[in-house]
Structure 1
Amino acid sequence: MASTTATPEATLRQRNVPASSKKAKNGVSDDVETDKVPNAVAPAKAGSELEYKLALGLVTALAFLTRFWGISHPDEVVFDEVHFGKFASYYLERTYFFDVHPPFGKLLFAFMGWLVGYDGHFHFENIGDSYITNKVPYVAFRSLPAILGALTVSVVYMIMWESGYSLPACLVAAGLVLLDNAHIGQTRLILLDATLVFAMACSLLCYIKFHKLRHEPFSRKWWKWLILTGFALSCDISTKYVGLFAFITIGSAVCIDLWDLLDVKRPGGALTLPQFGKHFAARAFGLIIMPFIFYLFWFQVHFSILNRSGPGDDFMTPEFQETLSDNIMLANAVTIDYYDTISIRHKETKAYLHSHPDRYPLRYDDGRVSSQGQQVTGYPFNDTNNYWQILPPGPDDQKLGQHIKNHDLVRLRHIVTDTILLSHDVASPYYPTNQEFTTVPIGDAYGDRAADTLFEIRIEHGKANQEFKSISSHFKLIHNPSKVAMWTHSKPLPEWGFKQQEINGNKQLAQSSNVWLVEDIASLPADHARRAKPEKKVKTLPFLRKWFELQRSMFWHNNQLTSSHPYASLPYQWPFLLRGVSFWTQNDTRQQIYFLGNPIGWWLASSVLAIYVGIVLADQFSLRRGLDAMDRRTRSRLYNSTGFFFLAWATHYFPFFVMGRQLFLHHYLPAHLASALVAGSVVEFLFSTDSAESDYQPSKSGKKVAPTTKRRLSARERLAGQSMAGAWIATAVIMALVAFGWYFFLPLTYGYPGLTAPEVNRRKWLGYDLHFAK
């Protein structure tokens, strides 16, 4: 196909700027050089607008075909559909649940279920549960991510088109996503990643369209694309918190843009400080304030829908739970009196405060000496050794029948061993900085050790004289003399502690992991008047208070996802596709769904990232040696447009190296999309002669001279045509290889047909832990 050589006037027209315009309103020049902006835009070098539209239609049709083909298989719950399908059901039942991810993506699933008339009766309890038997409209649920996944391919194509790349470059970038098995596999199931990746891609596209209007600041279109960029960013972070990485990408480009606007030597004249302030305020409003408002809006919808008590109650405070109807915990709350026998349970680990006659060893493994006192541990099961009698601070206090209140001092008597809970200045088994918890005989508790057996009941968010109640009063047990909080953690003690949990005194009082609750009053008969359940009215809390509480709980539990997982992987493994994730298997048919990208496409994209870095380093080295091998426009695109895509890849990839939580291959999908954009850009750079020649040739004196003669221009056109033929050949070869990889791994992506052992082994390219290999 013949190349189209762009004139300066054509370049300006593509930027929506009149060729004759010298200065736009608000002091922004129309002739800002492309090497001064974060994402330079140049005209397409090959293909008419009709050809671009036809290619877009073809790519979109293929994207829908690859995502929807066989979407009804398997008709069973697959992998994390147990979570996100369940959450959709809870929304439809208006039952409160807890999840570490923001609500937007889950609300979309609930909306899809509502559209098809689903009532939420199925709770997706186990992988392999039948959708057909339980009459679940699972195809409708899976259609949502499939639609978004297909549209993501179109958005990738449009990003390249809007950035001014040639048709081959657009097809390479879109093709790497279109024929990627990981993107296909993740968008055919009831999972959040399709929403996340689509929103991330839209944020890049909207920002590029906004940036192309930089010479028309504060126009209607300028505002439209600024707000749409903010909305896309909001949808990104409202689906998963890793959507913050898109904010870093766009924010970095905006900072570069603002820095250039601040330059008094910028072409077209400097902005005044009030004009610059207007630009800054507009971007802050569109990319920070508006996204945050949208983000809060989805939580408001979340709270409005989930107004009934449910499985998420335990993660919230009693005050929050009082805003939910039918709350069993609050209905069963009983006021606790002195001399009641109670069982105390840790809120987060669910372990009971426990003791038994066995004692701490004389020395721990690290050589430290213990008190050899009676062990106090956390025990996961209900047991008589979990019973404690709550006593007043003094032996002669007449408090029988009196209610315990917030900030009261108490003693706890272990019923079975008839000893009193104590903490003292002796290091705990695992934490040398934390105090040991033990028990002492009653005589010592009211004698020389009296002060060390006093504990304060401190109710979370409690008021003065608030009554202490079972179940609903979440509290911290504060050792009165030393002011440490009773605390436990999930790491089991050695054999001498029977693998139970360590109890110790934590000096960090503010930590939410210090919170306990009284599960039951064992000494109170079931028919006692104190157990009466009067009808309680549903209370209200301000939205921001509920939002802050939920945010704290979400962030804390997200950070606790540090346990090992058989299919977890590390960031350094992702670009090389060293391992995947088993989603589903069926033994009878030898079918399996194994989450894995297209190895050829991933290795190609990762290689191109390295090539891009090499090109930039080589160019910088050449410039240092006085050699200039590129024209201004080519270098601008290489550093700014391709650099913007590389920035998107880096900001969506490198932050995972500092995360301590579980990580899986799907976390790389946004970065992989950005790497596909880089790949398309570099293909154009390598196969376009337009980058080898500038519109103006420098003279020997160093000054620019007029364009070459008409005869010379025709020669360039012929060379460009040969170049585009090379680009098309390269594109065809790349797509053929990628298509082979896509087709070869299709049985693992679609879950059918079943493969024989030799067929499975042929697909273990890097030792993938596939099933049915024998």
Structure 2
Amino acid sequence: MSEYNNVRFRQSGQSESEIPIEEEFDDKKKASSSSILAGLTILSFATRFYRIDHPAQVVFDEVHFGKFASFYLKRTYFFDVHPPLAKLMLAGMGYILGYDGHFEFENIGDDYIKNNVPYVGLRALPAALGALFVPLTYMIMIESGYPIITATFAASLVLFDNAFICQTRLILLDSMLVFFMLCTFYSYIRFYKLRSREFSNEWWFWLVTSGVFLGLTTSVKMVGLFTVMTIGVAVLIDLWNLLDIERGLTMIQFRKHFAARAIGLIVVPISIYLLWFYIHFLILNTSGPGDAFMSPAFQETLNGNIMNFQSFEIRYNDTITLKHKDTSVFLHSHPERYPLRYEDGRISSQGQQVTGYPHEDSNNHWRVKPAENFFNTSRPENDTVKHGDYILLEHLNTSSNLLTHDVASPLTPTNQEFTTLPTEDKSRYNETVFQVLINDGDSDTIWKTKSCYIRLIHYETKVALWTHELALPEWAFKQQEINGNKNNAEKSNFWFANEIVGKNITEPLEPKKPTRQIPFLLKYLELQRLMISHNSGLTKPHPYSSGPINWAFLIRGISFWTDNVNKQQIYLIGNPFTWWLAVASMAVLVGVLLADVMSRRRGIYPIMDRKY
């Protein structure tokens, strides 16, 4: 018998003869716990897999996530607001099943059997992970120090929850999210319990495992950041306790603890998160429906994208059309002039109108000319236009150069008016000079049609060519206002050359160009910005939305699928006993904690402090 056991039983007044009885009791307890865990796991798989083949139709958001899995299998680029891991897992399951991604999950109710889709196998992955919620919940409770009966009760609440069963037996992402989240909590609890064996192999294993599962959680959905926040708060409290001088740690030892947690719970999760995006870009190398969300430079990295065979270098004296990125109107001008006075009494320059026009028209044609005074040497006629070059834009139909000056624009008095000046008038030459700034360009970047977003910055006043969706009055035929934006760094200032007039029609296509190469980190940052931007847009209300208060109290559920012929429906709603009990328990817990805090202010300690 170990010295530890000798001390333990001498302190408790027990004799060594009693030890086998306690050990036998512990063995029986472990056996009972294992039996309960096995039984809960079997029941969990049974509830999740029961009639998983029904309905044999597309249900709810299977239209999205099944489609994304198909895109992966076809290597076709798509855009989604969620990180890629769960969709990659579904695609991997499809690959194992021999599915080639031919079905595109267009509509709820589309038939799987007629389209030869291995939908049961695809649903089996989230169902299996959903079934593991139950044993994970049980083990988390046991590792947290709760008795078997409490752990069994908690796991049973998860086992018989309608919402969990409904949500985890379909081709959706939530099974992966909750599974990795539970694994994160379980791993961190195991790590925390080893605080007396710091820096041991087991301590490092559970620390790194916590970080891995933390990375996997956030790699499924952005809402996984709440798990990061939960673990982060626990780590900060742990570090705060370690900093206590009564713990006896030196600052060198504390820094080691801090560094270990930074590596395990920051570096490891971020590396895991980035890994799936790297795989995402590696697989999706072909042009697809997600192209339109990405920048032209990004699109050039995809095989078969329009940018690779309809993008032409712009040279001086080429005639082009310019299109605004956000509103899709052309830079346009016509002989009509601004009125002497606007409706609010302000006076205009009475110059030639420059507007935004949504349709193809010869008044959209502008010739690119070099601003000769701004170059060290004269530019050859066929020289390419590059990032940072100074140019003039000549409106062909009226033989006048684009100009902006310190006159208020018609609808936006804080911005400058755009007009034109006859080409023969050199008295205001500098006011017709603009600098071409290509997004993410450098001095060697050539301006190309379609594949380059540019900002045109006025030389004298530094305003950017800009437009917005407000329409001018009848005197401008209700076309869109063009003006000079003083905040010239805004992304809404982006334009692109839509075509070189005549070239796309009369000249044969150039030989196929190799796809562009962009560093992974730049691609990741662009996609991440778009994901965050579009995620924020999903918060806008719609007629079928429900607020969080509805979820907790089960006021309203979600209709996933309806069969009007056979009078069947899949309706997502939680188990009232579980959900209402959870809400009531949280309310009681908050009440008890508040009462404890108030009592302590009066020197009364109803809840004893826990000793570690």
Question: TM-score with structure 1 length normalisation?
Answer: 0.67
Residue identity opposite 2:498 in structure 1: E
Q: Distance in 2 between matches of 1:616 and 1:333?
A: 65
Alignment of 1:149 onto 2:130: yes
Q: Distance in 2 between matches of 1:362 and 1:167?
A: 84
Report the equivalent of 1:204.
185
Structure 2 counterparts to residues 570-609 of structure 1, below 5 A: 570-609=547-586
C-alpha contact 2:312 2:449 (8 A) present in aligned 1: yes
Give the 3-state SS of the residue equivalent to 1:48 in structure 2.
Answer: helix
Alignment of 1:542 onto 2:519: yes
Of 87, 101, 110, the match for 2:68: 87
How big is the shift at 1:551?
2.8
Alignment of 1:304 onto 2:282: yes
Q: Distance in 1 between matches of 2:540 and 2:345?
A: 28
Measured at CA, do residues 52 and 417 of structure 1 come closer, stay the same or move farther in structure 2, by a change above 3 Å? Answer: farther
Q: Distance in 2 between matches of 1:333 and 1:99?
A: 26
Structure 2 counterparts to residues 243-642 of structure 1, below 5 A: 243-266=224-247, 270-348=248-326, 350-353=328-331, 371=348, 374=353, 376-377=355-356, 379=358, 382-384=359-361, 387-392=364-369, 401-412=382-393, 421-425=402-406, 435=415, 438-440=418-420, 442-443=421-422, 446=425, 451-488=430-467, 503-524=482-503, 526-528=505-507, 531-561=508-538, 563-633=540-610
Report the equivalent of 1:766.
none
Report the equivalent of 1:56.
37
How big is the shift at 1:109?
1.1
Give the 3-state SS of the residue equivalent to 1:601 in structure 2.
Answer: helix
Residues 596-653 of structure 1: per-residue CA shift (max 9 Å, x gap): 33344323212221111100111222233343334445xx7xxx9xxxxxxxxxxxxx
Q: Distance in 2 between matches of 1:461 and 1:507?
A: 21
C-alpha contact 1:71 1:188 (8 A) present in aligned 2: yes
Q: Distance in 1 between matches of 2:333 and 2:161?
A: 56
Residue identity opposite 2:188 in structure 1: Y
Residue identity opposite 1:83 in structure 2: H
Cα-Cα RMSD: 3.8
Report the equivalent of 1:730.
none
Report the equivalent of 1:754.
none
C-alpha contact 2:311 2:451 (8 A) present in aligned 1: yes
Measured at CA, do residues 156 and 122 of structure 1 come closer, stay the same or move farther in structure 2, by a change above 3 Å? Answer: same
Measured at CA, do residues 574 and 345 of structure 1 come closer, stay the same or move farther in structure 2, by a change above 3 Å? Answer: farther
In percent, how many aligned pairs have the same letter?
A: 49
Measured at CA, do residues 369 and 91 of structure 1 come closer, stay the same or move farther in structure 2, by a change above 3 Å? Answer: farther
C-alpha contact 2:406 2:417 (8 A) present in aligned 1: no
Residue identity opposite 2:460 in structure 1: P
C-alpha contact 1:388 1:412 (8 A) present in aligned 2: no
Measured at CA, do residues 613 and 400 of structure 1 come closer, stay the same or move farther in structure 2, by a change above 3 Å? Answer: same
Report the equivalent of 2:145.
164
Q: Distance in 1 between matches of 2:505 and 2:97?
A: 46
Question: 292-301 vs 355-364, which deviates more?
Answer: 355-364
Give the 3-state SS of the residue equivalent to 1:526 in structure 2.
Answer: helix
Of 74, 77, 83, the match for 1:102: 83
Question: 304-313 vs 354-363, which deviates more?
Answer: 354-363
Give the 3-state SS of the residue equivalent to 1:294 in structure 2.
Answer: helix
Alignment of 1:192 onto 2:173: yes
Report the equivalent of 1:685.
none
Q: Distance in 2 between matches of 1:78 and 1:398?
A: 62
Q: Distance in 1 between matches of 2:438 and 2:135?
A: 54
Measured at CA, do residues 406 and 541 of structure 1 come closer, stay the same or move farther in structure 2, by a change above 3 Å? Answer: closer
C-alpha contact 1:493 1:501 (8 A) present in aligned 2: yes
Q: Distance in 2 between matches of 1:561 and 1:591?
A: 30
How big is the shift at 1:210?
0.9
Measured at CA, do residues 510 and 99 of structure 1 come closer, stay the same or move farther in structure 2, by a change above 3 Å? Answer: farther
Report the equivalent of 2:101.
120
How big is the shift at 1:341?
4.0
Measured at CA, do residues 260 and 482 of structure 1 come closer, stay the same or move farther in structure 2, by a change above 3 Å? Answer: same
Q: Distance in 1 between matches of 2:473 and 2:339?
A: 11
C-alpha contact 1:148 1:195 (8 A) present in aligned 2: yes
C-alpha contact 2:404 2:432 (8 A) present in aligned 1: yes
Q: Distance in 1 between matches of 2:341 and 2:568?
A: 56
Measured at CA, do residues 418 and 308 of structure 1 come closer, stay the same or move farther in structure 2, by a change above 3 Å? Answer: same
How big is the shift at 1:571?
4.2
How big is the shift at 1:107?
1.1
How big is the shift at 1:118?
1.1
Measured at CA, do residues 398 and 250 of structure 1 come closer, stay the same or move farther in structure 2, by a change above 3 Å? Answer: closer
Report the equivalent of 2:17.
none
Residue identity opposite 2:449 in structure 1: S
How big is the shift at 1:75?
2.9
How big is the shift at 1:61?
2.6
Measured at CA, do residues 466 and 222 of structure 1 come closer, stay the same or move farther in structure 2, by a change above 3 Å? Answer: closer
Q: Distance in 1 between matches of 2:487 and 2:129?
A: 45
Q: Distance in 2 between matches of 1:627 and 1:159?
A: 33
Residue identity opposite 2:307 in structure 1: M
Residue identity opposite 1:331 in structure 2: F
Unaligned runs of 5+ in 2: 9-24
Q: Distance in 2 between matches of 1:125 and 1:427?
A: 50
Measured at CA, do residues 64 and 461 of structure 1 come closer, stay the same or move farther in structure 2, by a change above 3 Å? Answer: same
How big is the shift at 1:119?
1.1
Q: Distance in 2 between matches of 1:581 and 1:361?
A: 59
Residue identity opposite 1:67 in structure 2: R
Measured at CA, do residues 144 and 394 of structure 1 come closer, stay the same or move farther in structure 2, by a change above 3 Å? Answer: same
Residues 533-576 of structure 1: per-residue CA shift (max 9 Å, x gap): 21323454433333333333433443444544333344455433
Residue identity opposite 1:225 in structure 2: W
Residue identity opposite 1:95 in structure 2: T
Alignment of 1:177 onto 2:173: no
Alignment of 1:67 onto 2:44: no
Of 196, 209, 221, the match for 1:240: 221
Of 200, 207, 228, the match for 1:219: 200
Residue identity opposite 1:384 in structure 2: D
Q: Distance in 2 between matches of 1:501 and 1:583?
A: 43
Report the equivalent of 2:20.
none
C-alpha contact 1:318 1:330 (8 A) present in aligned 2: no
